Amino acid sequence: MEKCLYCYKPLKPGQVDYHPACARKLFGTKEAPVLPYVRKEIGDLAKQVVRAQTTLTGVQAKLSLDVNPGGKNEPSRFTIVGLWGKYILKPQTDRYRCLPEIEDLTMHLAEAAKIAVVPHGLIRFTDGEL
């Protein structure tokens, strides 16, 4: 059974990755924006962002994203913006597999312990990888 990438509860038939209410909490819409990349592309895109000197600091690899609204028959989609985006993408790395999942789980545990955390969740690349 598929689980929601926001709350980890089971999805109903026909739901993909998020319950509509969970997508609304995380993205402000009933459906998640499309992440139109695969992990292998992210390395090259990150290098372009670094060259433009618009990076987010810290040890873990991350990129700043914003959402471009979709057209009449197109879904909204994430775009890499370099800096000041509304979202931070922390993709998988070859060195530390499952780091995004571990961080998201840690955030859920912090919430359960009544520690304030920022909105967070997981998202899939176009190839299905988290």
Whole-angstrom distance, CA of residue 54 vs CA of residue 39: 20
70 and 108 co-located in one domain? yes
Polymer length in residues for the chain: 130
11 and 72 co-located in one domain? no
The answer, as to whether pTM is greater than 0.85, is: no
| Residue 87: per-residue pLDDT | 94
Could you write out the DSSP letters of every residue in 51-90? HTT----SSS--EEEEEEPP-TTS--EEEE-SSS-SEEE-
Q: Fill in the DSSP letter of residue 114.
A: T
pLDDT tens, residue by residue, 29-40: 999 999 998 887
Residues of the chain with pLDDT > 90, as a percent, come to 52
Q: Which two tokens stand for residue 92?
A: 């998988």
Does residue 90 form part of some domain? yes
Domain around 107 = 33-112
Whole-angstrom distance, CA of residue 130 vs CA of residue 38: 10
| Residue 7: per-residue pLDDT | 97
58 and 11 co-located in one domain? no
Decide the pairing of beta strands 77-80 and 87-89: unpaired
| Residue 50: per-residue pLDDT | 55
Which residues in the chain come in under a pLDDT of 70? 43, 45-60
